[in-house]
Homo-oligomer: A and B are copies of this chain.
Amino acid sequence: MALRAGWIGLGAMGAPMAMHLLRAGHPLAVWARRKEVMKPHVDAGARRCASPAEVAANADVVFTMVTATADSEAVALGEESIVEGARPGTVVVDMATVSPVATREIAARLKARDLEHLDAPVSGGPAGAAAATLAIMVGGRPEVFARVKPLLARLGRHVLHMGGHGAGQVTKLCNQVAQVVNVQGIAEAMLFAAVNGVDPAKVREALMGGFAASKMLELLGERMVDRTFDAGIPARLHHKDFGLVVELAHELGIAMPATALTAQQLAALMGHGWGTYDTSSLLRVLEAQSGVKPGG
């Protein structure tokens, strides 16, 4: 019989992901802070729950996809939370990007209640969630991963077990560092081209043929050229993730200078009120910093 799934958090990412499980034939129990967002899933046959505890009481595997570390902790361990409703052996899968340190603590506290935990953050954005083509980076016990993997395979194309508790979160943060530092470099190259009077569109095309080629140059480089900063990944999520990395690097005592600098540029971006815009807006931050008119 199909495993019973629970889903907590039905935002731009969670809503399509939960629907994939329902359509794959898994009985689904749902809860979200905003009651109205549950309607499409309830209409499609999901059980509407009054709390995370009720979700857990009706599921073998409970997925959580909420915004911040504090939210993940609250739905797992707070009032009317998963621990209040779950039977021993239930697996909690946190698909949000949260602190690896907090993840290890949550896993330990759930283990003390005989519950299992996986951290399984994703890359690919709302488009990847809708198309079920996400990259999913998983940390936790291998045998628990094996049990949950068929469900994760409904949500993404690359489902990889990275190591013990927190390893999925560490991998996701590595992804954010490599991705957004690259965007910062691309933004500086685009500014340099424009100010020197060379067409950024041509530069992007030339660079795609060489060693500077990247997914970000292809996608966000194009948005910088077209100046379509309103589509894509909200920069506030990268701002949040860079806060996690910088904090952890500080605790670990390792220098990550370009990460710290990019975190500052993302903070400046937030200061401009561009947090809901795409991270290609890092170009606009540079323009503002240098008093350069849009487009050079």
Assuming the contacts A175-B211, A210-B135, A210-B158, asked whether A188 and B292 have C-beta atoms less than 8 A apart, the reply is no
- Contact between B290 and A253, CB atoms less than 8 A apart: yes
A57 at the interface (CB under 8 A from B): no
Instruction: State in angstroms the CA–CA spacing of A33 and B245 once bound together.
Output: 50
- Contact between B100 and A184, CB atoms less than 8 A apart: no
- Contact between A182 and B261, CB atoms less than 8 A apart: no
A contact patch SS: helix
- Contact between B181 and A211, CB atoms less than 8 A apart: no
Instruction: State in angstroms the CA–CA spacing of A197 and B198 once bound together.
Output: 44
Assuming the contacts A162-B206, A171-B206, A202-B162, asked whether A186 and B178 have C-beta atoms less than 8 A apart, the reply is yes
User: Which residues 240-254 in A have Cβ within 8 Å of B in the complex?
Assistant: 245, 248-249, 252-254
Q: Kindly supply a per-residue 1/0 record for chain A positions 93-118, scoring 1 wherever the CB is within 8 Å of any chain B CB and 0 otherwise.
A: 00000001000000000000000000
Instruction: State in angstroms the CA–CA spacing of A129 and B190 once bound together.
Output: 26
Assuming the contacts A157-B209, A174-B189, A181-B182, asked whether A196 and B262 have C-beta atoms less than 8 A apart, the reply is no
A153 at the interface (CB under 8 A from B): no
Q: Kindly supply a per-residue 1/0 record for chain A positions 255-288, scoring 1 wherever the CB is within 8 Å of any chain B CB and 0 otherwise.
A: 1111101101100000000000000000000100
Chain A interface, number of residues (Cβ within 8 angstroms): 75
Assuming the contacts A174-B193, A192-B177, A254-B195, asked whether A211 and B124 have C-beta atoms less than 8 A apart, the reply is yes
- Contact between B212 and A178, CB atoms less than 8 A apart: yes
- Contact between B123 and A211, CB atoms less than 8 A apart: yes
15 contacts between A and B (CB under 8 A): A124-B210, A137-B206, A158-B210, A162-B206, A167-B198, A170-B203, A174-B190, A179-B185, A180-B185, A184-B258, A185-B259, A192-B256, A211-B215, A211-B219, A214-B217
